[in-house]
Structure 1
Amino acid sequence: MASLSTRLLVLRAASLHRSPVHRWLSTRVGAPGRRNVLLMGPPGAGKTSVGRTVARTLGLPVIDVDDDVLETTWKMPVAAKLAAVGGQRFLEEEGQALCGLSASGCVVSLTGSNPLHAEAMQHVRRSGVVVYLDVDLEDIMLRLTRMKVDRIVGQEAGAGASLWDILLYRKQFYEKWLDVRVLCGTGDTVEDVAEKVVKAVERYEGHAADTYVSTRGDSGGSTHFSDVVVEGLATDGGLYVPRSGIPQLDAGEWRRLVDMSYPERALVLLEKCIHPLDVSALDLRTMVFKAYGSNFSSEEVAPVKHLHLNQYVQELFHGPTASFKDLALQLMPQLFAYCLPPMCNYLILVATSGDTGSAVLSGFRSLAGADRQKTGVLVFFPEEGVSEIQKLQMMSYREGNARAVSVLADFDFCQRSIKRMFGESGLTGHLAVEYGTVLSTANSINWARLLPQLVYHSSGYLDLCRDGVITFGEPVDVCIPTGNFGNAMSALYAKRMGVPIRKVICASNHNRIVTDFITTGQYDLRGRPLMLSHSPAIDILKSSNLERFIYHVSDGDSRLVRDLFTRLDRQQHFQVPEPLLGRIQQEVLAGWCSEEDCLAAIQRVHTQTGYVLDPHTAVAKVVADRLQDGSCPVVLSSTAHYGKFAPAVFKALRIPNLPEDPVEQLKKLGSTASRPEMHGEMMKCLKERSRGGHTVCQAEYGVLVEEVEKMINDSFLKVM
């Protein structure tokens, strides 16, 4: 029987037109000074065929490492070399041969085993962009079977490793060396993949054009992802959005994601949205797998559970602080630290209506070394506007450069004060000159906060596909309790990426500012007091991310956005034009829920299913029951664990004798609820909580500024 390499060479010789003159020699190059395009992937990925097509498209010479480098160097067939020296020696000599390649302006098809040789990959990577043809392993196995290939380098006699095992083992090396990934869908033709390669290379080389603009106008500058992460808010007061919009995946690419883990899905989607010259693919992978690892109590990270009939709950509370904010804030601090320029300290200012506070403190506390030393976090929250357990969670973060301060005001005052600080050049200049400190934010107005959230909306849909509830392409609705509109906006971004979301349903509590706006087109704060509720995270009247929504639904009309939100700041209201209201209502539905209906929903769902909803998820349940027609599944975003709002849940379930101690409250609730389980990390946090008090500020802007300066002094100016 012919050897593996012989069969591969015969197949290649039959399909590849060979030039009589090898074009890999150092004296023969394509466009002078142009970078190579290096195609990497497992055997059977189509590197040779795709390489020829890409080269033809770009008008460049093509180099096949097997044919044009190895055989030319060794003066013998690859199969003969492998048989003569064995697998390990083969890899070493193969790598050394590749180190002799000197070419530019060529399309180079690497071998499947080249990435196992570090020196060789470092050498060729300096000459160009490495494109990973990421083909599903099952597709690779089928292709190799059709090619009658049953062994590859690494499967030496007696080693015991299967072909699947070797392919799986090699994947880590492809992930290590890639500059850009081309996700190949089942059924993609050579031409399809080649087109994706060309687009990926164009994007890589077009970093200068991969910029962000403000929703209120384009300053004309070159603001990249790394700038946006650190700055948070645009200089004109607007919110940053990608100039070219959100990238899209085709159906084949989405189907590839169905069987992937949450971190793998997150990595692919974020690679599409973050330019690799801002955050390298390898560094992004490290951050993503750290963010969504053992710190989440569920291996699925954001699992989807069946609730009742055609309703499903996506549990977004398995992170360390039992809130959906963890899905963004376990990753965002790593991105922030990565993008920081040297020589400055950064103070992160955060306004929270509850969950963001502990989540941002947890996320930034996970930083280490110099990243932690040059980054401080100050959280402002309404003293009477969060649950007791939320407050205790925030108070548990007292060490290092992180603290929370309560304000005798509502969330909107806290958020408005922070935005005012960013807008006062005298203050920001003073902090920069006097203290060497720059202000930034981790609220959902920061693009790096919002971006990771589109992953879990995408993942929820993919879970329904994986579990056989739907097939890809069938629609779902999502119902989201919303106040600041960030969670809803991230669902709309997931839809723009290609997730078949039919309607985004916005669920408000009795403050209902979003519902009234989507119903009437009028945003009116005049004489409208904020009313506290059982769902405090959505006790918000000024929904910051609505600005991004209006920008996108108006096709990027920054002048309109600027006029509307300037009017809101000055006159406390605005009205969108009637045609724009029609477009808004095509994208979203909205409804609101009373306090009584919220508690009744918690009680009813528990009686029917044994499942305990937190008050925010109950708001979504009530609104979904009213607005969703049942013709497709609806996913309720469960934004927090019910234990964070124990008194409200006790009241809803009519459990008498509420214990005074929060830990005892959770223990008693845990004995009542059959699912979901009590949140272990939250229990641990409360058991270890400090008994000390916390700082409470008057509702005065100047007092908050004083807290900022005090925080800077304590964080960065202490003499150790």
Structure 2
Amino acid sequence: MNKVYVSTRDENKKLSSKEAILEGISSDGGLFVWPELDSVKIDLNKVCKQSYQENAYMILKELLPDFSEEELRECIHNAYTNSFDTEDITPIKKVDDVYVLELFHGPTSAFKDVALTLLPQLMQKALQSTNQKALILTATSGDTGKAALCGFQDVKDIGIVVFYPHQKVSQIQYRQMATQKGKNVKVYAVKGNFDDAQSQVKKLFLDDEMNGIAKSKQILLTSANSINIGRLIPQIVYYFESYKYLVNQGMIQIGEKVSFSVPTGNFGDVLAGYYGYLMGLPVEKFYVASNANHVLTDFLSTGIYDRNRDFIQTISPSMDILISSNLERLLYYMSGKDTAFVKKCMDDLKETGKYQIPEDMLSKIQDLFGCGYVNDTETKRVILDVYEQTKVVLDPHTAIGYSVAQNSDESPIVSLSTASPYKFSIDVLDALGIQVKDELEAMKELSKVCSDPIPKGLNELEKLPILHTDVIEIEEMKEVVSQAMEACFHD
């Protein structure tokens, strides 16, 4: 088996898994993929008998072949020992007729923790075989930023710069990032939306001048977003874990199919599930759940991806995205690994803001992927209905996935819960008919009706000083990255 990663836009660009993790994004703008992914078959019988950590090792060893067993086991141990508030890491709760996969039990109360506790470990191991340092540039729509900052805080030879859209994240998300400690971290609010920041970060990775400066300082520019294969791969594990749960609870027999509903904007979370499917996970359907920025719903319905539309700021800000970067990887596999086709689509997207896929390819995608979208009004109704019927409190992102799951005809269906409701307390309380304007007070109020206590990391925010106050223009991002090359590294 040819165990190399290639660019989605050029199959001749080949790297090892360690190199792909350190590079983050290919020099041609493409994302790294493993052509042989669909030849891997994970043993479901083993999955159902093993711990989360053991399943993580079994999956990672297949996809990161140039990491030694000792390296992988050490990375997994460091990532998942005493860093989550439950031994299950990603427990499941049955809510009415939907199985809700809770992915928010990590240090920053969002699903990004599952991968971003592990990525720093993998990246540090990969760096050991080089004489370089790494500077991570990450745009965030709210949750990735804090999870990455927390994961990479004071990690040796790695610095991190996070950009988030100014006044377009929740107050809690803002406080989580603005209070972040660490000698190697920088946080900037950017005037614009997530897509503006993400597009500029991608440009910086491909900027010759910027890369020249970095090279002269022996610094690699890389990413902690799900465009980095090292961020994406750890997320595959919890899809197999949810399957294990259903088997062990007697809900299904090994080999029977399940469906998943995934709230998403950047397509990374649902893509991890698709990777699991390629590796033998029995899946009937993936439902891609969107908010009012329903560019993915339109694409999956028509085969036309068109970002030429108004950007809508919603109460589910982590999904406020019009350029779904990880869709590029799906196009690669669904096109028969045709890198020329993917490049043409991405060129069209850059030049015209849209592209269209052939009818037969759309049909192939629709056989496996369903879709739906939920606006803010409906999201609040779902939060209220679920609470009144079950006393379970859903955050605005989870409510969208839950709604799409309930409207499907699939059973059993697992709906991914991507964040703690405490991260969006004001909007959750508003949905429940309770008006509170201050988010810290709202968390306390929400704790009166939510069965889960306020997560430790969120409860501490009130006492932490604001450390990062810079608000910059998109055009200033290059300058602050240049400055970070000096500021983030301390011997």
TM-score class normalised by the smaller sequence:
over 0.9
2:409 to 629, 643, 659: 629
Give the drift of 1:692.
4.8
Which segment is superposed worse, 510-519 or 457-466?
457-466
Alpha-carbon shift at residue 691 of structure 1 (Å): 3.7
Question: What's the secondary structure of 2:447's corresponding residue?
Answer: helix
C-alpha distance in 1, partners of 2:304/2:224? 28
Q: Confirm or deny that 1:402 pairs with 2:185.
A: yes
Task: Answer whether contact 1:395 1:689 (CA < 8 A) is retained.
Answer: no
Query: Could you say which residue in structure 1 is the equivalent of 2:58?
Result: 268
Q: 2:448 aligns with which of 671, 686, 689?
A: 671
User: Which is higher, the Rg of structure 1 or of structure 2?
Assistant: 1
Is the CA contact (8 Å cut-off) linking 2:178 and 2:466 kept in structure 1?
A: no
RMSD: 1.5
1:355-366 matched pairs, under 5 angstroms:
355-365=143-153
What is the aligned partner in structure 2 of residue 214 from structure 1?
7
Distance in 2 between residues matched to 1:436 and 1:691, nearest whole Å: 32
Aligned-partner SS, 1:418: helix
Summarize the alignment of residues 156-171 of structure 1 with structure 2, pairs less than 5 Å apart.
Answer: none
Match in the other structure for 2:477: 704
For 1:257, which of 29, 40, 47 is the aligned residue?
A: 47
Matches within 5 A, 1:70-219: 209-219=2-12
Q: Is the 8 A contact 2:37 2:279 kept in 1?
A: no
1:156 aligned residue: none
Match among 423, 426, 442 for residue 206 of structure 2: 423
Match of 1:534 among 310, 315, 330: 315
Would you say the 8 A contact 1:504–1:588 is kept in 2?
yes
Separation in 1, partners of 2:278, 2:463: 43
Cα distance between partner residues in 1 of 2:55 and 2:474: 43
Match of 2:235 in 1: 453
Q: Distance in 2 between matches of 1:281 and 1:436?
A: 28
Distance 1:555 1:679 in 2: 44
1:218 Cα deviation from its structure 2 partner? 1.6
User: Which of the numbers 646, 650, 672 marks the counterpart of 2:429?
Assistant: 650
Distance 1:577 1:570 in 2: 19
**What is residue 234 of structure 1 aligned with on the other side?**
26
- How much has 1:668 moved relative to structure 2? 1.2
Question: Distance in 1 between the 2:36 and 2:279 partners?
Answer: 13
CA distance in 2, matches of 1:234, 1:222: 10
Give the counterpart of 1:517 among 283, 299, 303: 299
Equivalent residue, structure 2, for 1:492 = 274
Kindly indicate whether residue 341 of structure 2 is the aligned counterpart of residue 560 of structure 1.
yes
Q: Does 1:586 align with 2:370?
A: no
The amino acid that maps onto 1:356 is T
Q: Which residue of 2 aligns with 1:609?
A: 390
What is the deviation of 1:274? 1.6
User: What displacement does 1:246 show?
Assistant: 4.1
Instruction: Give TM-score, length-normalised by structure 2.
Output: 0.97
Query: Relative contact order (alpha carbons < 8 A, sep ≥ 6): 1 or 2 greater?
Result: 2
Q: Distance in 2 between matches of 1:485 and 1:622?
A: 18
Q: Offset at 1:248?
A: 2.9
- Counterpart contact for 1:395–1:403, Cα < 8 Å: no
The letter for the 2-side match of 1:640 is: A
Shift, 1:473, TM fit: 1.3
Task: Give identity over the alignment, percent.
Answer: 36
Answer yes or no: is 1:334 the counterpart of 2:109: no
Q: Identify the residue that residue 683 of structure 1 maps to in structure 2.
A: 459
Distance 1:274 1:430 in 2: 30
Secondary structure of 2:82's partner? Answer: coil
In the TM superposition, residue 437 of structure 1 has moved relative to its aligned partner by: 2.1
Displacement of 1:519: 0.3
User: Is 1:325 paired with 2:325?
Assistant: no
From 68, 72, 94, give the equivalent of 1:280: 68
* Equivalent residue letter for 2:395: D
Q: What stretches of structure 1 move > 3 A for 4+ residues in a row? A: none
1:418 partner letter: V
Q: Which moved more, 1:358-367 or 1:633-642?
A: 358-367
In 1, Cα distance between equivalents of 2:164 and 2:254 = 42
Distance in 1 (CA, whole Å) between partners of 2:373 and 2:269 is: 16
Residue in structure 2 matched with residue 105 of structure 1 by the alignment: none
SS in 1 for 2:386: helix
1:366: Cα distance to partner?
6.4
| Letter aligned with residue 215 of structure 2 | A
Distance across 1 between alignment mates of 2:448 and 2:162: 33
Counterparts in 2 of 1:297-446, with a 5 A limit?
297-309=85-97, 311-340=98-127, 341-365=129-153, 367=155, 372=156, 374-433=157-216, 435-446=217-228
- Secondary structure of 1:452's counterpart equals helix
Partner residue, 1:292: 80
Q: Following TM superposition, by how much is the alpha carbon of 1:663 offset from its aligned partner in structure 2, in angstroms?
A: 3.1
d(CA) in 2 for partners of 1:327 and 1:383? 26
Equivalent AA in structure 2 for residue 488 of structure 1: V
Letter aligned with residue 379 of structure 2: C
Deviation at 1:557, TM superposition (A): 0.9
- Is the 1:304–1:464 Cα contact (8 Å) retained in structure 2? no
| Corresponding residue for residue 176 of structure 1 | none
Supply the AA of the counterpart residue of 1:629. D
Structure 1, 689-698 or 479-488: larger mean CA deviation = 689-698
One-letter code of the match for 1:242? Answer: W
Report the Cα distance in structure 2 between the residues aligned to 1:379 and 1:222, rounded to whole angstroms: 28
Aligned equivalent of 1:472, options 251, 254, 257: 254
Q: Where do 5+ consecutive residues of structure 1 fail to align?
A: 1-202, 204-208
Using the alignment, how far apart are the partners of 1:388 and 1:590 within structure 2? 29
- CA pair 454-692 structure 1, distance change in 2 beyond 3 A: closer
Aligned length: 490
What residue number does 1:70 align with? none
Q: Distance in 2 between matches of 1:210 and 1:473?
A: 27
Pick closer, same or farther for the CA change 1:361–1:218 going to 2, 3 Å: same
Aligned ranges 1:39-78 → 2 under 5 Å: none
Partner of 1:572: 353
Q: Which SS does the other structure have where 1:312 is aligned?
A: strand
The secondary structure found in structure 2 opposite 1:405 is strand
